[in-house]
A and B are shown apart, each in its own frame.
Chain A
Amino acid sequence: MTPLLTTKGLSCSFGGLRAVDNVDFTLMPGEIRAVIGPNGAGKTTFVSLVSGRIQPSSGAIVFDGADITGLPTYARVRRGIAYTFQITSVFANLSAYDNVALPAQLTLSDSRSMGALRAGVMTALERTGLADRAHMPAGQLSYGHQRLLEVAMGLALKPRLLILDEPTQGLADSEIDNFIELVRDIAKNATVLLIEHNMPVVMQLADRITVFNAGRILAEGTPEAIREDAAVQDAYLGTAP
């Protein structure tokens, strides 16, 4: 099986700081991959490089067999890389419906009918449990619902790779349980790359875990292997009492 995403020698420097340092990364189709690491380890920079928000200093990114290193953001989204923001950035003045219609109308470009668009939007809203709030301005939704709206916008793009940047941050425990179910559901049709601090969520969801530290990959493996890894415990999980 060919990998969905690979990076070779990917680096990104801000001034003297090497935020991402020579990273070789491989992601297989259908996986749920968690990326963990302490603050400032380069996780968000890494996925920003993949999604095209930041240009790398050196290295290459290959998506589905094609080199996408030089492609602008929008072109990567059209190839199937969707990114949901760590800091909620829905269109606050637009309705939840319009927020989702924007990505949905892009993937429906072959069908011009209003009905198809409406169906696509409502499907994404229903999967995230927001259907009854479709006509509320996004800015008036609760924080948890705004996070879900972000995911709905990602879903409406029908991505092959969905990057979720700290999706459970600020969610209540009850909301987190629903969220885990939602991600499992999404993973049936898409590969998920998940940046997450909440370790119980990571342990429940991830097929494999990649640990970042100081811009490099420190370790990679199954949740069990990572839990046992001494170096990881040192850098991130803290030593057992």
Chain B
Amino acid sequence: MSEASPAKAYALHLGVIALLFVLSFLLPDYYHGLLARIMVLAVFAMGYNMLFGYVGLLSLGHAMFFGAGLYGAGLAVIQLGWSVPAAFAAGLGCGAVLSLIIGLLALRTTGVAFMIVTMMFAQVVYLAILYFAAWTGGDQGMVVPQPTRVLTFGATSLDLTNPTVRYMAALGLFSLVLLITLAVVRSRYGRVLVAIRENEERTKMLGYDTFSNKLAAVIVSGTICATSGAAYALLFGYVGSSFASVQYSILPLLWVLLGGAATTLGPLLGTLFMYYVIDVTSGYTSAYLLIVGVALILLVLFFPKGILGTVRQRWLGWLP
């Protein structure tokens, strides 16, 4: 937000990307695959953070945008036989159109009503997926066949089911979205979004059409989440209705709260943390969700602004 230390912020973000790149060659197979998944889901969290962290709009229905990308891309491959790039674009397009429609309707409300309206729309999408089981596979979901998950550039082709290719594709997408997020929140538009979060009435009195700005933010947020969904379908090959369920609307909220709302790297950190806590604790006990719950409570008690939010508040004020 502030004009200070842009170089430091960019260096930090490029450093994180470099670290993730190097990890690809160091991690054992299991964690290699897990981190690829986490990076794709962190994109989902970054999309959520754009709206929740920066504009202060708490949506409980973002699974529908993830689902739009997931099914948009998955159905394009499975039912229409489209190539990977076309299917990816289809996923993005579905997310953009859906977020435009939802934005126009849901932004007529604020606060608790906004949460309920977004949640209801997400349920409509979820139930529609179950209802049209003939095309979507219903609650069974669909597998995107391995031979179709290939990127072809002329003579060369990249097999997205290959672990290294998959990791690098996930990293590429993550890096791109991270840098876009950083650029947006540092821009003049980002300043307006934060102003809306802090005091919408005042922002109007400074000459801003807050509805249009919020609508744009919903579309950016929804499209980023759909990007994550489309990538998930194409990289991991499974398109399932559980990804459009309420659970997947709550998860990005948790990831963002954990990592730090309105921080650019918080979504990655939150997603990573949740996954590793679940991974580690489920090795010891079947009651791992209990431990996850306790960990969440402790975090909220001692890091009320999330991990990075608290770090920024106490030590590193320049953190974007």
Q: Which residues of B contact A (CB under 8 A)?
A: 1-4, 188, 191-192, 194-195, 198-199, 201-210
Contacts and interface: CB of A to CB of B under 8 A. Distances in A.
A118 B205 contact: no
B249 to A, nearest CB: 27
A105 interface: yes
A222 interface: no
A98 interface: yes
Contact of A91 (B3, B4, B202, B204): B202
A106 B201 CA distance: 16
Interface string A38-63: 00000000000001010000000000
Given A102-B191, A102-B192, A95 B2 contact: yes
Contacts of A77: 204-207
Interface in A103-135: 103, 105-106, 114, 117-118, 135
B192 A94 contact: no
A91 B198 contact: yes
Contacts of B192: 102
A164 interface: no
At the interface, is chain A mostly helix, strand, loop or mixed? helix
Nearest to A138: B198
Contact of B3 (A85, A89, A97): A97
Contacts, number: 64
Interface string A157-184: 1000000000000000000000000000
Contacts of A114: 3
Contacts of B207: 74, 77-78, 103, 106, 157
Contact of A103 (B199, B201, B206, B209): B206
Interface centre among B2, B205, B209 (most CB of A within 10 A): B205
Nearest to B187: A105
A93 B206 contact: no
Given A94-B198, A101-B191, A105-B191, A135 B2 contact: yes
A118 B209 CA distance: 23
A96 B2 CA distance: 10
A92 B3 CA distance: 18
29 contacts: A51-B205, A72-B204, A72-B209, A73-B204, A74-B204, A74-B208, A77-B205, A85-B205, A89-B199, A89-B201, A91-B195, A91-B198, A91-B199, A92-B198, A94-B1, A94-B194, A94-B198, A95-B2, A97-B3, A98-B1, A98-B2, A98-B194, A101-B191, A102-B191, A102-B203, A103-B207, A114-B3, A153-B206, A157-B207
Given A53-B205, A98-B191, A106-B207, 11 more contacts: A74-B207, A77-B204, A77-B205, A77-B206, A89-B199, A91-B195, A91-B198, A103-B206, A106-B206, A117-B188, A157-B207
A33 B157 CA distance: 74
Contacts of B206: 77, 102-103, 106, 153, 157
Nearest to A114: B3
Nearest to A118: B3
A83 interface: yes
A205 B127 CA distance: 66
B202 A74 contact: no
Contacts of B195: 91, 94, 102
Contacts of A92: 198
Contacts of A75: 209
A78 B192 CA distance: 15
A135 B207 CA distance: 23
B236 to A, nearest CB: 39
Nearest 5 A-B pairs (CB), nearest first?
A: A77-B207, A105-B188, A91-B198, A103-B206, A73-B204
Contacts of A118: 3
A157 B192 CA distance: 15
A95 B317 CA distance: 12
Interface in A134-166: 135, 153, 157
Contacts of B201: 53, 89
A114 to B, nearest CB: 7
A93 B56 CA distance: 14
Interface string A59-88: 000000000000011110110000101000
Interface in A221-237: none
A28 to B, nearest CB: 24
A72 B204 CA distance: 9
B210 to A, nearest CB: 7
